[in-house]
Amino acid sequence: MFKFKNFHQSCFFIVAFTITFASGCKTNPDTMSSTQIVPPLVEAIPYQHKIHDHIRVDPYYWLNQRENTEVLDYLDRENDYYQKMTAHTQPLQKQLYKEMRGRIKEDDTSVPYFYNGYWYITRFEEGKNYPIYSRKKGVLTAPEEVMFDCNAMAEGHDYFRLVGISVSPDNTKVAFGLDTVSRRQYTLRIKDLNSGKILKTQIENTTGGSVWAGDNTHLFYNRKNEQTLRSEAVLKHNINNPEGMDELVYEEEDETYSVYASSSKSQEYIFISSHSTTTTEYRYIKADQPHAAFRVIQPRTPDLEYDIAHFGDYFYLHTNYNKAKNFQIMRTPIDKTTVDHWEPLLPHREEVLIEDIELFDQFMVVNEREQGLSRLRVIRWDETADYYIPLEEETYTLYISYNPEFKSKQLRYVFNSLTTPSAVIEFDMEVKKKKVLKTQEVLGGAFKPENYKSQRLWANARDGERIPISMVYHKDTPLEETTPLLLYAYGSYGHTVDPSFSSSRLSLLDRGFVYAIAHIRGGEYLGRHWYEDGKLLKKKNTFYDFIDCSRFLIEKKYTSAQHLYANGGSAGGLLMGAVINMAPDLYHGVIADVPFVDVVTTMLDDTIPLTTSEYDEWGNPNEKTYYDYMLSYSPYDQVKPQDYPHLLVTSGLHDSQVQYFEPTKWVARLRSMKTDQKLLFLDTNMKAGHSGASGRFDSLKELAKKFAFIIDLEKKSS
């Protein structure tokens, strides 16, 4: 789950393409005019891609050489150009950072949760970037045991991330994953919680997650392919033999699948799940039998998806079995798990998407979504109760929180909205009363929810569909043609962008911006069909929906093209690239974060991370039908001689999801072909990857740069 000297636009026009920018030349930006700052140029070396009797010429293919000093030099020159051209916004960036940080409660603590005899707590200390993970035995008044102080662990690292905390059943050891490169290749380590010492176990190239067997000795973990980074196998490790050969438990040979180990809420079973975009398959053993052979629950069947939960004598399934597009809930006896034994519990409904379930000893809680709005349905096993938890607000975010205990009548869930800070709520399912355990504090004294308004609009798409738009703004902001509006969307993988609260976003709203989310096809906001209508050979619906939402906002005079801004990241960055090729005149400025823009080249290269596992999302361009369709919208391939909006593109040198060379090549091609004099920036984080900076305050600095970009554009256009 964006935001002064006046430079004339003519200053950014490249008068002659023979101008070069020497990387060793150091110029003081305070003593030079903007006419002396020229964009860096990079050599075009035509490379021919040949497939399906078609030739694509790629002039910047050579930029995919990460270790090439000329490539690194070009990235440095782009960063230098960006820094010099935005030097006048430094005071604004600092002010934005100060505002955003000032709203955060720095010495913050999570709501404790109780599990297996301990209360677990995550807390932050004032002035520190990273969390501290701790626990207390039995009662909250017990002495604190610090498991991990990530601030101390992060010292000496430009990037740091700790994931996959997994405590052994006997509470004496904890496994965890570390990434200090931002490549999402985690080193698995184990800490002895009695002595505080780190054990010899050091397993490279994992997903960071792991599952303990009931014997407190064996650990199941996921190994990644070193080149593609696909989670391709599950191995078993004996902590008493850390230097021995780990046993291969299961290897997923189909490259369109990834594989993961997990455990049931009951801790009685260990699962191995194989996932493609549209198909799943689970295996299981008893957790106290780590050397047993895994049994398949239901063999993989094309387009059959199911997730597993365990309670009592049954496995419970969240599944689309028998064409249940919006999913249903079923169960099956543990000793009879194939589909012919599956019993329906909650049937499929055309208008309601079932997203998740949570099991308790007396209740089942179902997370549903209808017309884009989530709701929680509580069903008692003895059928004496079946009701929805009451909610308010027109547009909001709601999801089930962590509930590790079966024997409880208390459900924890999280609620927030575009105007309401996030709250962790405990709901008594017996007496139907809720208690707010914690509400996000917004410091600084200026924030009052009543000062902001939110609403949901419906735009008409060109094919007759209605596209929801969630919108928030300050109550004093007029909705008119001169109002600046930032429109955000993602639109892929069925990922739903819910309208959630952001204290950082207040820096835009308080400056008169409207923030809006377009719930376009490719996500599941309106159900499974909403996703399926925005993928594969229907992918262009995603782009058309965003363009149609933009035109709707302009036609209804909520803003105008001179004041409309757009933002999306990763697959949402592909969206940004596609829409500015198709309708560049609708936007004054665009921010494309780590954008997936060289679609065809990437999807043809099965050595690039995540490629083969995403054929079900984008299509396999080795098949001509998909090749032609993907080529018709691929942002890099569709760059043309035309005017484009002002553009800020971000990237990460170590990005494992969207390789740095995609946005780099895209910017180079745009520079060589666009016909306007507008801003075009490439900001590459040379020390991070897909998610940017790892520290909570460092990430605010990156956000401040993006906010400053559009605020500065708006100031110049007013």
Catalytic annotation, residues: 570, 655, 690
Q: What is the largest CA-CA distance in the chain?
A: 79
Looking up tokens 């709601």 gives: 398
The CA-CA-CA angle for residues 582, 588, 590, to 5°, reads 70
The CA-CA-CA angle for residues 263, 266, 270, to 5°, reads 25
Contact 688, 182 (CB under 8 A): yes
- Cα-Cα-Cα-Cα torsion 572, 576, 581, 586, nearest 10 degrees, comes to 140
Distance CA 246, CA 232 (A): 15
Contact 123, 132 (CB under 8 A): yes
Closest by CA position to 151, among listed 171, 133, 164: 133
Distance CA 34, CA 131 (A): 42
Closest by CA position to 472, among listed 499, 494, 493: 499
Copy the structure tokens of residue 259: 């594989």
Copy the structure tokens of residue 214: 């009931």
**Helix, strand, coil abundance in the chain, percent, nearest 5:** 20, 35, 45
Q: How many CA atoms lie within 13 A of 703 on its CB side?
A: 24
State how beta strands 247-251 and 198-212 pair.
unpaired
Helices 69-85, 661-673: axis angle to 10 degrees equals 60
Closest by CA position to 586, among listed 487, 468, 670: 487
State how beta strands 363-370 and 373-380 pair.
antiparallel
Distance CA 88, CA 715 (A): 13
